[in-house]
Amino acid sequence: MSETVDLLIEDPRWQTIGLEEISQAAADATLRHLRLDPEAFELSLMGCDDARIRALNVEFRENDKATNVLSWPSEERASEQRGAMPELPQTGGGPFAEELGDIAIAYETCVREAEELGRSTTDHVTHLIVHGVLHLLGFDHIDDKDAALMEGLEREILEILGISDPYSITD
């Protein structure tokens, strides 16, 4: 069985929460939910710190701050129609997995956000990886229609993984 996620851990703190297992489960669940075979696809994930993701955010988005997750799709798959499904990748059935792109995730920001949201770090990181994989597949949240589609899929996938709705408002 091939692994969907090619993981690079730059910050060893990621090993303490089991980033390898979390990322594999999140990526596979996302692909399966969209009726894609996880064994036919591959993505790269870098577990880094805030300093590294800030540098990446400056370089690629001209945004000089740390963020939780960044993604770089291997192809543009977004639909031209707002709120519509993107063109999901097809495999040629060859011997090599199709590369979906790269994701970077920052330790300090993820831990801080999880605490602020009152969620476990594992649940929050799982959500962010599902979010990143959806970006690689052409989903986005630029406008309300796209956001509704993407967030709906996130809710469905996280429910399959036994994680409560990250968008629900609880007091």
Contact call for residues 100 and 49 (beta carbons, < 8 A): no
**pLDDT tens, 35-92?**
999 999 999 999 999 999 999 999 999 999 999 999 999 999 999 999 999 999 987 6
Q: Provide the pLDDT confidence category of residue 171 given band limits of 50, 70 and 90.
A: very low
Stated pTM of the model = 0.94
**pLDDT tens, 52-62?**
999 999 999 99
Q: Do the annotations mark residue 33 as ligand-binding?
A: no
At 92 the pLDDT is 61
**pLDDT tens, 2-33?**
689 999 999 999 999 999 999 999 999 999 99
At 2 the pLDDT is 63
Residue with more model confidence, 95 or 12: 12
At 28 the pLDDT is 97
Q: Do the annotations mark residue 124 as ligand-binding?
A: no
Q: Do the annotations mark residue 131 as ligand-binding?
A: yes
Q: Please name every residue paired with 45 in a beta bridge, in sequence order, or none if there are none.
A: 7, 103
Would you list the domain boundaries of the chain?
A: 5-85+96-160
Q: Which CATH architecture has domain 5-85+96-160?
A: 3-Layer(aba) Sandwich (3.40)
Q: Where are the beta strands (DSSP E) in the chain?
A: 5-9, 41-48, 69-73, 98-106
Residue range 120-133: mean pLDDT, rounded: 98
Q: Cα dihedral angle (127, 140, 85, 46), rounded to 10 degrees?
A: -50
